[in-house]
Amino acid sequence: MTATMTKPQVAGGDGQARGALARSVRDSLVVARRNLVRMLRIPEVVIFGIIQPVMFVLLFAYVFGGAISIPGAAAADRSAYREFMMAGVFAQTVTFATAGASAGIADDMHKGLIDRFRALPMARGAVLTGRTLADLVQSAVTVLVLMGCALVVGWRIHEGLPKALAAFGLLLLLGYGFSWIGALIGLSVRTPEAATSAGLVWLFPLTFMSNAFVPTNNMPTVVRHIADWNPFSTTVQASRELFGNQFQPVASDAWPMQHPVLASLLWSLLITVVFRTLAVRKYRSATV
C-alpha cells in the first residue's frame, strides 16, 4: 500500500489580500496610538480645541440668538434658536478639526518624520489612516464635552437616544471625511503655518454659507441653492431631524434637504473615498 502525500495548500490571492488588510489595520492602529499619546502629552491642543466651540455656543446662544427668528417657533421662545444652532455648532466643531490635521501632517513632513515612516515596512496608507483615526477620537471627545455645554444653555434631544446616536455618528463621519481633506492639504504645503491657514480659509465660507446658524429661506436664490446642496448643510439638517430640533418642515425642495440622512451619509462616504485616494497618492510621492 502506498501512502498518498498531499501538499499543504498555499494561500491564494484571497489569503494574501486578507493578510495585507490585517497588516494595514494593525499599522494604522499603531500610528493612531502614537498620535493619541502625543495629544495626551500636549494637552493644550485638546483644551483649546474644546474652548473654541464652547465660545461659539455661548456667543450664538446669548449674543446673536435673540436677533434671529426660527420658522415655526414662537417669537418669544428663546430656547428655539439654541436648539436650532446646536447641530450647526456640532458640525462646525468636527469639520474645523481639518485645520489640526493639516498642521499636524505638515509638521511631520517638515521634521522629516513622514520620510522615516515611508522607509519602514508598513502599509502605505497606515500613516494617514492612523492620523485621521486619532483626529476622529479627539473630535468625539470634544463633541462629548460640547454636548454638556449645549444642555446647560437649553439644547434638548426630543427623538430618543438611538436617533441622537445616529446623528452624532453622521457628524463624526463628516468630520472623518474632512480630515482626509486636511491630510491632503498638509501633504501639499511646505510649512505647518501655511497648512493651518489653508485648512481654515475654505471652511469659513463652507460653514457659513449653509443652514448651520440661520435659516436659508431669506437667502438670495443662488446662495440658497448652494446652501441646500452643501454637504455641511445636509449633515446639519440630518442632525436636526434626528435630534428633534426641527420646528417645521423644510421649505426647500432640494433632494438633500428632503432626504438629509441618506444624503449626509452619501456625501461623507464620497468625500472620504475621494480624498483618501488623493491623499495616499500624494503621500507616496510627497517630499519636504
pLDDT of residue 219: 87
* Number of domains comprising the chain: 1
Using CB atoms within 10 A of its CB, is residue 266 exposed (0-12), middle (13-18) or buried (19+)? middle
- Contact, 242 vs 261, CB < 8 A? yes
The whole-number pLDDT of residue 8 equals 47
What pLDDT is stored for residue 147 in this prediction? 92
Residue 254 three-state SS: coil
Range of the domain at 31: 24-68+76-285
Task: Let me know: does 72 contact 247? Beta carbons within 8 Å.
Answer: yes
For residue 5, is it within any domain?
A: no
Give 203-238 pLDDT, tens digit per residue.
988 998 999 888 888 889 999 999 999 999 999 999
- Give the per-residue pLDDT at 73: 63
Place of cell 442632525: 239
Residue 1 lies in a domain: no
Residue 2 in any domain: the answer is no
CA 45 to chain CA centroid, nearest Å: 17
pLDDT score, position 239:
95
Residue 8 lies in a domain: no
Q: Tell me, what's the pLDDT at 274?
A: 96
CA 192 – CA 99 distance, rounded (Å): 10
Helix, strand or coil, per DSSP, at residue 261 = helix
Q: Is 195 part of any domain?
A: yes
User: Degrees (nearest 5) of the Cα angle 131, 20, 181?
Assistant: 30
C-alpha to C-alpha distance for 211 and 208, rounded to whole angstroms: 8
pTM for the predicted model, two decimal places: 0.86
Structure confidence at residue 262 (pLDDT): 97
Which residues have C-beta within 8 Å of that of residue 122, sequence separation ≥ 6? 23, 27
- Residue 122 has, within 13 A of its CA and on its CB side, a CA count of 20
- Could you tell me if residue 139 is inside a domain? yes
Residues of the chain with pLDDT under 50: 1-11, 76, 288
Residue 210: its pLDDT value, please?
Answer: 92
Cα–Cα distances (Å) from 27 to 176, 181, 206, 261, in that order, read 18, 21, 33, 32
